[in-house]
Amino acid sequence: MWDSATIAMLAKETGTTLYMTLTSTLFAYVIGLPLGILLVITARDGLRPIPVVYKILDVVVNVTRSIPFLILLMLLIPFTRFVVGKSYGATATIVPLTIAAAPFIARLVESSLLEVDRGVIEAAQSMGAGTGTIVWKVLLAEARTSLIVGATIALGTILGYSAMAGAVGGGGLGDVAIRYGYYRYQADIMIVTVVLLIILVQILQLIGTRLSKRLDKRITN
């Protein structure tokens, strides 16, 4: 059973899982990072308070986050087919993964930026710094450690989503677990896929933790 073909398949699908996770995270941050910044600066006590914009963004984020991933994946099948040309496979799964993760990332970014000391922001304003300068050189710079911790959490969450996508032919380790572990009753392959997913999460967590500690200016050697 554990021949070279099985090992090669697991190695390939592990790579597929990483491909879906990392690509989806990148695209989700392209959407979620600006969205999180907008949530902070348009809030009532933000740099540029715009209550209407904040309320709209807040509702969109909350509604999207409240939809379970598998249901969202099904709802997005027509859109995924329009964007990618098909609704199954690793590349197609990136579309719903991105849309599901973007609002989650927006909240993580919002939470990180709100941790920045208000006094630092007011000091920058008193020196005539504009909104763009404050966002880039104060908010994002001061919150970089928290942002990296958030990115690590996001990677773990998206990795879990990618495994769930295997239930509908999304590819990756989740697909292997469903096809071999569930349908063919090969419990050993099911266990191995779970172990591989745990290892991937641990590696991503370790990298994120070490990077955040290295960039945390509060830690002295």
pLDDT in tens, 96-147: 999 999 999 999 999 999 988 888 888 888 888 888 888 888 888 888 888 9
pLDDT at 121: 85
Q: What is the mean pLDDT of the chain?
A: 86
Question: Which residue, among 190, 167, 149, 165, has the nearest Cα to 19 in the 3D structure?
Answer: 165
* 199 vs 150: CA distance, rounded Å: 19
CATH topology for 4-215 is MetI-like fold (1.10.3720)
Biggest CA-to-CA distance, the chain: 69
What residue ranges do the domains of the chain occupy?
Answer: 4-215
| Segment 150-174 mean pLDDT | 85
Reported as a pLDDT band with limits 50, 70 and 90, residue 219 is very low
Using DSSP, state whether 20 is helix, strand or coil: helix
* pLDDT tens digits, one per residue of 167-199: 777 778 888 888 887 777 778 888 888 899 899
Look up the pTM and report it.
Answer: 0.87
**Buried b vs exposed e over 152-178: b needs ≥16 C-beta within 10 Å?**
bbbbbbbbebbbbbbebbbbbbbbbbb
